[in-house]
């Protein structure tokens, strides 16, 4: 019973944190991109993109842990464990793709 309660608590926390508001752009990106002229401006943008990529990697890792949990103990979720697993895998793919794209943007700004 304790294990089941713990699993439910962890899942609830995971779902709530996944749904939480993310602020990937603390700066006005349109303004920053339009005004980027100096090396320092492009370095700041590159750093921003790298930071966002790191956030995306962390989110992907969180969902990988959840996916392992669903795969390790599917009986705790019943028939929904497959749905949760598919959902987690999609989010992992999205977060990893976002990380790659942000790193590519950082690379482009470092070359400018």
Q: Is 24 helix (H, G, I), strand (E, B) or coil?
A: coil
Q: Which residue intervals of the chain are DSSP H helices?
A: 2-19, 29-35, 39-72, 80-111
Q: Where are the beta strands (DSSP E) in 1-112?
A: none
In this prediction, residue 65 has a pLDDT band, given cuts at 50, 70 and 90, of very high
Extract the tokens encoding 58. Answer: 């962390």
Residues in the chain: 112
The pTM score is 0.66
For residue range 70-95, what is the model confidence (pLDDT) as tens digits? 888 877 767 766 778 888 999 999 99
Q: For residues 82 and 101, what is the distance between their CA atoms, to the nearest angstrom?
A: 29
The owner of tokens 């482009």 is 108
């Amino acid at each position: 019973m304790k294990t089941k309660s713990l699993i439910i608590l962890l899942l609830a926390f995971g779902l709530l944190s996944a749904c939480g508001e993310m602020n990937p752009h603390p700066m006005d990106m349109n303004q920053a991109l339009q005004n980027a002229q100096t090396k320092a401006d492009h370095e700041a943008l590159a750093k921003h993109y790298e930071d966002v990529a790191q956030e995306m990697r962390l989110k992907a890792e969180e969902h990988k842990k959840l996916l392992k949990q669903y795969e390790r103990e599917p009986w705790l979720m019943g028939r929904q464990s497959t749905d949760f697993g598919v959902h987690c895998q999609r989010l992992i793919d999205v977060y990893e793709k976002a990380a790659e794209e942000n790193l590519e943007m950082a690379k482009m700004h470092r070359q400018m």
